[in-house]
Amino acid sequence: MQYDLVAVLVFMVVGVALLAFILALSRLLQPRDPNPAKLTTYECGEQPVGPAWIQFNIRFYVMALVFVIFDVEVVFLFPWAVVFQKLGLFAFVEMMVFLGILLVGLAYVWRNGDIEWVKPLPGPAALEDEKGAR
């Protein structure tokens, strides 16, 4: 076990070293001749308009929130799956209760439309949000 960990660490070092070598090689070989037109941010050949760092749609945040909760749930499922054969039906009931409570959460986001990407526009407030995304 400990021995295998060392192998993984050696592997990490070898991998990173290889990467550094290729990057250095590329540094040596590549031409360096920048000019302003070459360096402009790509916007289909037009002059870029404004920065891209704008506030974007809140849907991405909601998605990430729901993901964190379910990810934690899956992490609880990992050890459960390993010991399941040892504990049997008892562990099954336990997990049913756990998942049952969390499924209320899934039902909640589902009903609320939080995992719906395209929503009907209820009013001007939603239109404001849409503008933020563009």
Contact 47, 99 (CB under 8 A): no
Contact 114, 67 (CB under 8 A): no
| Minimum CB distance to other proteins, residue 17 (Å) | 10
Q: Which of 37, 41, 122, 124 binds other proteins (CB under 8 A)?
A: 41
**Is residue 127 close enough to count as binding other proteins by CB under 8 A?**
no
DSSP-derived 3-state class of residue 44:
coil
| Minimum CB distance to other proteins, residue 130 (Å) | 14
Q: Could you say which residues in the range 52-111 bind other proteins, by CB under 8 A?
A: 52-56, 58, 60-92, 94-99, 101-106, 108-110
CB atoms within 10 A of CB 62: 14
CA distances from 129 to 8, 24, 71, 83, 112 (A): 46, 45, 27, 46, 17
**Is residue 121 close enough to count as binding other proteins by CB under 8 A?**
no
**Is residue 130 close enough to count as binding other proteins by CB under 8 A?**
no
Closest C-alpha to 78, from 98, 64, 62:
98
Q: Residue written as tokens 């899934």?
A: 106
Q: Could you say which residues in the range 7-36 bind other proteins, by CB under 8 A?
A: 7-8, 10-12, 14-16, 18-19, 22-23, 25-26, 29-34
| Minimum CB distance to other proteins, residue 81 (Å) | 4
